[in-house]
Every structure is written in C-alpha cells, then in structure tokens.
Amino acid sequence: MDSAAARGGYRGVPHTADLRVEAWAPTREECMAQAVRGVCASFLDLTGVTGGRRRDVVVRAERDEDILVALLDEVVYRLDTGGEVPVDVELAPADGGVRGVLWMADAGSLPVTGAAPKAVTLHGLAMTRRPDGWTCSVTLDV
C-alpha cells in the first residue's frame, strides 16, 4: 500500500439514482470513518469546516457490514431529525462494534453539492479485510 493509501480515503462511484461510496484505510474503524466522510462529502462541501457539537455514538452488531450500516443509519437519522452532519469522525473498537465521536455542523450552513442520502441499502454492501488494510462499499438511496 503506498503512503496515500495507507492513510485511507474514499471515493464516490457512479450509480444510477443512488449514491455509492467506496472507502479504504489501514484499520476497520478508520475505513468506516472514511465511508462516513465520503457520504457527507457527496452532498455538502465540507472544505475547511470544523465540527462544533460532539455526539458520542456506540454501534454494535454481529457483522462488520451491519456495524457500517448502523453507523451510516445514525448519520442519516441525525441529518433528518437535527439537520446536522458529521464533518469529522473518530472511531475506536468496542465490544461487539465501534465507539466514537461525531463532530457535527449544521447542514443548512454548508454549500449543497448533491442530493442528501435518505437510507442505507444492503445492495452491494461489503466490508473486507485485506493484507494491506480494510475496504468497504456501501450504497445509499438519495
């Protein structure tokens, strides 16, 4: 893995009428955090934005893929109910899942660049450990 890939990242993937994000990182938790960043950056310009409100989260599930879905469901829920979006994510392993901090900003104060996600789907969902780190793919309805 080259040095840029070792740090992790994300990219949007063209997908008809949906949002698809692929992410990668050295650890499972950072891969999930990159997926959250990719989803949020798909519809808002987060350049230079820092989060002001701390939201502690704990997400548990039996499978890594289900943890990722639950984490992104939390992001969609907070957007829908509170109009806030994570602009930074810190995740750590927890018994049966992940624990972390979402640093939130008001979505309405940020430039809109695309359609906001409405729900996480199971279509094409993947979370894979590889010799050089982790990768994940997730599709969201927009």
Least confident of 3-7, 40-44, 68-72: 3-7
pLDDT-derived band at 50 (thresholds 50, 70, 90) equals confident
In terms of residues, how long is the chain? 142
Q: Which residues of 112-125 are buried (b: 16+ CB within 10 A; e: fewer)?
A: eeeebbeebbeeeb
> CA torsion 126→130→134→137, rounded to 10°?
-20
Which CATH number fits the domain that encloses residue 110? 3.55.10.10
* pLDDT tens column, 5-40: 457 888 666 556 688 999 999 999 999 999 999 999
Type and span of the H or E element at 40:
helix 28-41
Determine the structural domain holding residue 9 and report its residue range.
3-141
Name the residue with higher pLDDT: 8 or 1: 8
Query: What is the model's pLDDT at position 128?
Result: 96
Query: What is the model's pLDDT at position 4?
Result: 45
Report CA torsion sign: 19, 24, 30, 34.
Answer: negative
Query: What is the model's pLDDT at position 9?
Result: 80
Residue 39 main-chain phi, psi, to 5 deg: -65, -50
Q: Are strands 133-141 and 18-25 parallel, antiparallel or unpaired?
A: antiparallel
* pLDDT tens column, 92-140: 999 999 999 999 999 999 999 989 999 999 989 999 999 999 999 999 9
Task: Give the number of domains in the chain.
Answer: 1
Residue 14 main-chain phi, psi, to 5 deg: -55, 135
Cα distances from 24 to residues 10, 31, 63, 86, 127, in angstroms, run 6, 5, 18, 18, 10
Query: What is the model's pLDDT at position 106?
Result: 95
Taking every pair of Cα atoms in the chain, the longest distance, rounded to a whole number of angstroms, is 41
Query: What is the model's pLDDT at position 7?
Result: 75
Query: What is the model's pLDDT at position 3?
Result: 43
pTM for the whole thing? 0.89
